[in-house]
Amino acid sequence: MNVELKYKSILVPIDFSDTSRKSFYLALKYAKVFDADTYVLHVMEPLDTFDSSSKVESHTDEVAQVEGGVRRRVNELFERAGLAEVDRRRVHVDIRGGKPWKEILRYASEIGSDLIVMGSHGQTSFKELLMGSTTERVVRRAAGHVLCVKPDGYEYDPEKIPAKYKEV
């Protein structure tokens, strides 16, 4: 039984929702405490046009554009006060395409992540659901620990939880 409190490789998947941005800042704090590397991952979900081979070229442009946008947005997150002392050489930014939960898990095993820090909610964000489907699938399958970060102001209210989730 391994109960050592130590993380070396922290993965923070972000979809740029508020809760994932909060997870990003928290992950950097964990990385500092544990002297760990941080891996920031954004997964682009394939667009419908992906299937059409005639559009491959314009599609490559589109991917490059989205990638540029993602890197810019991650850089913007770093501009927040208090991050000056973060060692950027130990923060890796990657972009993958596919189903977010699958790519997050694939990436986690590639980097040997021992901690995933992710939001309970993302872009869709129905707060009355206990957690989004990406996080639920990752929590169920990940080999390492998963820290599920709640949105600010989240409160447990049994009356508001849909019946199908009450027994879980």
Q: Phi then psi for 3, rounded to 5 degrees?
A: -120, 25
Find where tokens 């993965």 sit.
11
Helix/strand/coil (H, E, C) string of 28-58? HHHHHHHCCEEEEEEEECCCHHHHCHHHHHH
Taking the complex as a whole, the smallest distance from the CB of residue 133 to Mn ion amounts, in Å, to 7
Could you say whether residue 119 binds Mn ion (CB under 5 A)? no
Least separation, in Å, of the C-beta of 123 and Mn ion? 5
Q: Which does 19 bind (CB under 5 to 8 A by kind): ligand ATP, Mn ion, none?
A: ligand ATP
Q: Does 13 bind Mn ion (CB under 5 A)?
A: no
Could you tell which of ligand ATP, Mn ion, none binds residue 91, using a CB distance below 5 to 8 A set by kind? none
> What are the percentages of helix, strand and coil residues in the chain, rounded to 5?
45, 20, 35
List residues near ligand ATP by CB under 6 A: 13-15, 17, 19-20, 23, 41-43, 100, 118-119, 121-125, 132-135
Residue 116 contact, options Mn ion, ligand ATP, none, Cβ 5-8 Å cut-off depending on partner type: none
Q: What's the token pair of residue 51?
A: 């299937």
Question: Which region among 22-30, 71-79, 90-98, 122-130 touches Mn ion (by CB under 5 A)?
Answer: 122-130
* Phi and psi, residue 5, nearest 5°: -90, 85
